[in-house]
Amino acid sequence: MGALTARASLRGTASVPGDKSIAHRALLLSALAEGESLIQGLPSGADVLATRDCLRELGISISEAAADGSVRVHGKGLSGLRTPRRVLDCRNSGTTARLLCGVLSAQRFSSSLDGDASLRGRPMARVVDPLRDMGSVIDYLEIEGRLPLRIDGARLPFTLHKPEVASAQVKSALLLASLAAGSGCRLLEAVPTRDHSERMLQYMGSGLSCEAGLIELPPGARLQACELSLPGDISSASFLIAAALLLPGSELLLRDVGVNPGRCGFIETLIEMGADITLENQRLVCGEPLAEIRVRSSSLHATRIQGKSIPGIIDELPLLALLASQAAGTTEVRDAAELRLKESDRIESTAAMLAALGVACETLPDGFVVSGRQTLHGGQVDSRGDHRIAMTAVVASLLTDDAVEISDEQCIVVSFPGFRDEITRLVN
């Protein structure tokens, strides 16, 4: 990557791409609605484009992004998808593959899903098994539990589910299958997970209800086409937040960022560690909470993260490891074995990234331990094709006097195209 000024400050106002998790759901639910929906702020990252292109292959007309970033989706209702002419390529997007499993389980045709080498290595059974319990007909075509797979549409009854894996993707796949089937369902959620699907289903008129861990989608639910304005992606914002905290003299204002309670674990943890972060102008837009986030450079202290705190911070844990290396004390993360099942084994890839920059990180089967106040130096980082590892290394490069070289930095386009340019613009 190009040189960035070490030990500079980060100052100014910035925006981040639309929320990736919400964007997938906006495209899928707009496709299943009746009529034209307008999605504003749809991000252009590779994962979201994978969902868009799969829906186009299923017969849904989706416009190219307008000058203001808005996209129009011509929904065809719950039974309007067509038989795809080829295998649906989910590329590197686990969300695309898992949520499409739900949608396609209730169609009147057969289809197949595949992805790139990285996605082929990620687990699918966590979604496939509960869908099969519902009555879905899904077969693995090569390796048990992995893509590629074939889905034969089936009639799905009203069912009661208690997912064994605390995963918003699993929950969303079951809701999408029940919606597309017209059967409805009840879900018992022992551990709360991101509720983007529930919020959007409610906003689009499905009649879904949520109370005390019980989620109920009524039989015969329909979706109304509407205008959806997506909040900025807090996972993308987290890298700018981290840079502002680490660089002395920094003050950064991030506009229109989603602050869904299920996604704020990173911010809550940082505040507990001593970070100067405030949420301003909090409001609700299209069912999702938004705010401006103000960040000032701060001296951090160590923390321990485990148990029910993990789902709300899982995507930001590699970045937290970098922050922990600059905090006072020793930080420990447990109960995060899920990290080993991401785009890379993020426990090992995080430790390897830090080691390349002179930072010791002890790996655990379900997490890691990092001692603070370590000095970083330049080096060569293998991103392992993982966008979050690559972006964390970019942030780390701001703390080194020597260059940091990152392999396959292009993988950052999965979630934040233009990230390097934006962070360079903010450095003073």
* Catalytic residue set: 315
Long-range contacts, stretch 347-352, CB < 8 angstroms, 24+ apart: 349/318, 349/382, 349/383, 349/384, 349/386, 349/389, 350/317, 350/318, 350/321, 350/389, 350/392, 351/321, 352/382, 352/384
What CA–CA distance (Å, rounded) separates 60 from 45?
20
DSSP-derived secondary structure letter, 145? T
Q: Is 260 left (phi over 0), alpha (psi -120 to 50) or beta?
A: beta
Nearest in space to 32 (alpha carbons), one of 145, 175, 214: 175
What CA–CA distance (Å, rounded) separates 341 from 367?
12
DSSP-derived secondary structure letter, 230? P
What CA–CA distance (Å, rounded) separates 218 from 267?
35
CB atoms within 10 A of CB 155: 10
